[in-house]
């Protein structure tokens, strides 16, 4: 029987993938890859791109294409059997990666290619792959002695297991809590969309009433709108203690020990490779040049932002005191009274805006904007195998009508799907023996699903999230690079990878763009100027508090990975408390365990790199300012961004690409202006 995991020319056959095939298939491909590498090194003496590196590119692409659907299913349709297969494979893939990174013959082959006269005849992308690979050999411990190499391998194994376990604990903790309400009076203040979702959730499990969960579409409306303060307090307490030793499921999915072990192993790895700390190690693959540059960047933004945040919080506390006689704001009051204050000041709410953002109209508008900017066409394709009935598939066609990229779109929250929003690679663009392999992306969000025969309605925040992830997708799909090592987002320094995603968000705030899709679900009328002006006035509402919160997380992440190297007895909670004391304006309860669910740094790729969001936001705001100067749909500027940023992938340094597009180095001023924070 054909193994449906191994697809070299087609899309993954999601509906027919057998979980029992996953581990044996990965075993087979890893064994084949080892034989190929051994054979190449044994039979070749004068190495070049064609007789070594192209074969390695093709070999790695086959492995990645096979692993991609299995890994993706673990994120969007998890079950016990898949989880076991995933965990077993992650360990084997980690071993294989370490083995290749410490293969001295392979390393010397790359050195030989880099030192040969023929190196200068390679394309820019090929040269970048070789130089990146030589750097990565060093970061994989190629220079270590035998004993240290074994230790490095063990560390990598343990980190793979621990990071996966962190995320699984978070998923399980999120789904372990639910609250059934049978008295409708307790739902006072909640929008109808939230009540309907809670009723549907209850109905799905055969209960009468309303069930609330810790999935974001259920959690956030309670925090924002529920007049019932005890309900807000209860759901807040459950949410901020997920996967910790506190809260309603205390200790059941506790990430406390896992976090410490992850930090211990990361620190040991960094020191093994000769770095002072994991924060120093992480900069080897980033734009920022040293730890002082990162810390100065964050502290400068904190200094410029904090006075605005303090004024905003003072205004909020005064509002709560005067309107509701609240002597002291609790953490579960902040979002609720902020929404009340927003409505009072600007006469607008996210719920009111929902009516203008039905999901199909938003998708059509997103595509129309992309088509105007880059001269492409986006069409839905039927008949593609998917993992859930809600998933859709689209092709991006160039001006000649040829497919240049494709993507799966999975928008709605459900059980067995991890929270948040992300873009991931299914297939990477590369040159093959028969032509060009087109890139395919997964675009995943967790919005409130449609209820009954009504279409899903998005908040403006959710619209912005969709545009953000689509920006990542365009970076992956619009690349012209023909070598997978630096195609799309591959090889892009982590603190520049958010540039195209945050850049796309800007069109959510432009009337000319909104007119393409923001239409009232009942009347069909476009968003009128009066509402738009309210939106724009409200855009910078509590912008200081929001920015300060992100800076708090960024500073915590970076200092944690620096200072754990000085003292591995460092208590994570103590460091976070110290940073909050200096940075935050909102008081956090003692029981809050935010770090236990901080998957970005403990399970994702943002360890010692969460600052990347703000770093790249400087780039994206400044890039967009060129459109503000010339017109948001200016074709010449759109073409320049496409050619200088999106098409180049990781083939060149991001600062060089930015200067090519903008004509100068980036300025921080557009970001501060967009945030309402001025000198």
Residue 345 has a pLDDT of 96
Tell which of 590, 610, 630 closes a domain: 610
**Cβ count near 38 (within 10 Å):** 13
**In what helix (H) or strand (E) does residue 430 lie, and over which residues does it extend?**
strand 430-432
> Considering the domain boundaries, does residue 76 fall inside one?
yes
- Same-domain pairing of 267 and 317: yes
Residue 1: predicted pLDDT: 41
**Domain contains 401:** no
407 SS3 class: strand
**Phi/psi of residue 676, each to 5°?**
75, 20
pLDDT at position 453, please? 87
C-alpha distances out from residue 328 to 313, 320, 331, 332, 337, Å:
12, 8, 10, 11, 12
| Catalytic residue (choose from 469, 510, 552, 617) | 469
The Cβ of residue 335 has, within 10 Å, a number of other Cβ atoms equal to 16
pLDDT of the residue at 4:
55
Whether 236 and 261 map to the same domain: the answer is: no
Backbone angles phi, psi at 436, to 5 degrees: -110, 130
Residues 6+ apart with CB under 8 A from 384: 11, 393, 408
Q: 653 lies in a domain? A: no
Q: What is the pTM of this model?
A: 0.95
Determine the Cα–Cα distance for residues 211 and 180; give it in Å rounded to an integer: 4
**Within-domain flag for 389:** no
Distance CA 306, CA 545 (A): 8
SS3 assignment, position 392: strand
Structural domains counted in the chain: 3
In a domain, 327, yes or no: yes
Where are any strands of DSSP class E within 294-421?
377-380, 392-397, 403-412
The dihedrals phi and psi of 336, each to the nearest 5 degrees, come to -65, -50
Looking up residue 564, the CATH number of its domain turns out to be 1.10.1370.10
Residue 144 tokens read as 């270590």
> Which residues of the chain fall short of a pLDDT of 70?
1-9, 679
Per the structure block, which two tokens stand in for 134? 């030589």
Q: State whether 119 and 218 are in the same domain.
A: no
Q: Among candidates 427, 378, 367, which has minimal Cα distance to 66?
A: 427
**Domain encompassing residue 229:** 178-240
Contact indicator for 238, 177 with CB cutoff of 8 Å: yes
If asked whether residues 278 and 309 sit together in one domain, one would say yes
The percentage of the chain sitting over the pLDDT mark of 90, rounded to a whole number, equals 95
Residues 125 and 184 in one domain: no
Helix, strand or coil for residue 45?
coil
Q: Of 552, 578, 610, which residue constitutes the final position of a domain? A: 610
CA atoms within 13 A on the CB side of 608: 25
**Domain co-membership, 133 together with 46:** yes
Of 139, 159, 188, the residue at which a domain comes to its end is 139
How is 71-106 classified by DSSP, letter by letter?
Answer: HHHHHHS--HHHHHHHHHHHHHHHHHHHHHHT-HHH
Residues 208 and 262 occupy one common structural domain: no
- Rounded Cα distance between 213 and 198, Å, is 8
Q: What is the pLDDT of residue 3?
A: 58
DSSP, collapsed to helix, strand or coil, labels residue 330 as: coil
Residue 508 lies in a domain: no
Where helices occur in 184-228 by DSSP H, the ranges are 192-204, 216-225
φ/ψ bin of 22: left (φ > 0), alpha (ψ from -120 to 50), beta (otherwise): alpha
Closest residue by Cα to residue 50 from 124, 118, 134, 133: 118
In this structure, what are the phi and psi dihedrals at residue 242, rounded to the nearest 5 degrees? -55, 140
Contact 369, 512 (CB under 8 A): no
Tokens of 407: 């993507």
Strand 403-412 versus strand 440-447 pairing type:
parallel
The pLDDT value given to residue 2:
52
Instruction: Answer yes or no: is 226 within a domain.
Output: yes
Q: Strand 430-432 to strand 435-437: parallel, antiparallel, or no bridges (unpaired)?
A: antiparallel
In a domain, 68, yes or no: yes
Q: Is 15 a catalytic residue?
A: no
Q: What are phi and psi of 445, to 5 degrees?
A: -135, 180
């Amino acid at each position: 029987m054909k193994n449906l995991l191994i697809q070299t020319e087609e899309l993954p056959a999601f509906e027919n993938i057998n979980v029992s095939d996953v581990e044996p298939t990965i075993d087979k491909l890893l064994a084949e890859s080892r034989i190929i590498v051994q054979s190449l090194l044994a039979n070749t003496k004068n190495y070049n791109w064609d007789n070594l590196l192209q074969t390695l590119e093709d070999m790695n692409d086959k492995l990645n294409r096979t692993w991609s659907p299995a890994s993706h299913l673990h994120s969007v349709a998890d079950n016990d059997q898949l989880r076991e297969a995933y965990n077993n494979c992650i360990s084997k893939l980690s071993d294989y990666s370490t083995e290749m990174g410490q293969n001295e013959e392979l390393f010397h082959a790359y050195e030989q290619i880099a030192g040969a006269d023929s190196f200068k005849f390679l394309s820019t992308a090929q040269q970048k792959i070789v130089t990146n690979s030589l750097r990565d050999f060093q970061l994989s411990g190629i220079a270590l002695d035998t004993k240290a190499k074994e230790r490095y391998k063990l560390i990598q194994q343990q980190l793979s297991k621990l990071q996966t376990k962190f995320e699984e604990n978070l998923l399980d903790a999120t789904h372990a809590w639910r609250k059934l309400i049978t008295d409708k009076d307790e739902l006072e203040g909640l929008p109808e969309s939230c009540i309907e979702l809670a009723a549907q959730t209850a109905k799905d499990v055969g209960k009468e009433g309303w069930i609330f969960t810790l999935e974001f579409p259920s959690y956030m409306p309670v925090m924002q709108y529920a007049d019932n303060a005890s309900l807000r307090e209860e759901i807040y307490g459950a949410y901020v203690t997920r996967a910790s030793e506190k809260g309603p499921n205390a200790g059941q999915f506790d990430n406390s020990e896992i976090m410490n072990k992850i930090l211990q192993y990361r620190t040991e790895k960094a020191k093994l490779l000769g770095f002072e700390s994991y924060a120093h190690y992480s900069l080897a693959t980033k734009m920022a040049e040293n730890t002082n540059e990162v810390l100065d960047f964050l502290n400068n933004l904190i200094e410029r932002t904090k006075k605005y945040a303090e004024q905003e919080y003072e205004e909020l506390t005064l509002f709560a005191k005067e309107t509701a006689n609240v002597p002291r704001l609790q953490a579960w009051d902040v979002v609720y009274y902020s929404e009340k204050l927003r409505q009072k000041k600007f006469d607008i709410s996210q719920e009111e805006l929902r009516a203008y953002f039905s999901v199909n109209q938003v998708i059509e508008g997103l595509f129309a904007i992309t088509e105007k900017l880059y001269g492409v066409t986006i069409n839905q394709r039927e008949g593609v195998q998917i993992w859930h009935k809600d998933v859709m598939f689209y092709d991006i066609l160039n001006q000649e009508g040829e497919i240049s990229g494709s993507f799966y779109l999975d928008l709605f929250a459900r059980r067995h799907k991890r929270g948040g929003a992300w873009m991931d690679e299914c297939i990477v663009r590369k040159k093959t023996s028969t032509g060009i392999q087109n890139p395919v992306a997964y675009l995943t969000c967790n919005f409130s699903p449609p209820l009954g025969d009504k279409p899903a309605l998005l908040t403006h925040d959710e619209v912005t999230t969709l545009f953000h992830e689509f920006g990542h997708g365009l970076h992956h799909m619009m690349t012209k690079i023909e070598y997978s090592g630096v195609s799309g987002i591959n090889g892009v320094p982590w603190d520049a990878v958010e540039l195209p995603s945050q850049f796309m968000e800007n069109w959510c705030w432009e009337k000319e763009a909104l007119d393409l899709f923001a239409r009232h679900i009942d009347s069909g009328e476009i968003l009128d100027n009066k509402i738009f002006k309210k939106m724009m006035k409200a855009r910078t509402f509590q912008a200081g508090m929001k920015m300060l919160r992100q800076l708090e997380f960024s500073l915590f992440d970076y200092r944690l990975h620096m200072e754990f190297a000085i003292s591995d007895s460092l208590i994570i909670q103590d460091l976070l408390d110290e940073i909050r004391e200096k940075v935050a304006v909102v008081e956090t309860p003692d029981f809050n365990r935010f770090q236990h669910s901080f998957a970005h740094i403990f399970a994702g790729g943002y360890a010692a790199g969460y600052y990347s969001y703000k770093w790249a936001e400087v780039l994206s705001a400044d890039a967009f300012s060129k459109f503000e100067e010339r017109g948001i749909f200016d074709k010449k500027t759109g073409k320049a961004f496409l050619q200088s940023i999106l098409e180049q992938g990781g083939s060149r340094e991001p600062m060089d690409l930015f200067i090519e597009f903008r004509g100068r180095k980036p300025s921080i001023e557009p970001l501060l202006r967009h945030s309402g924070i001025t000198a």
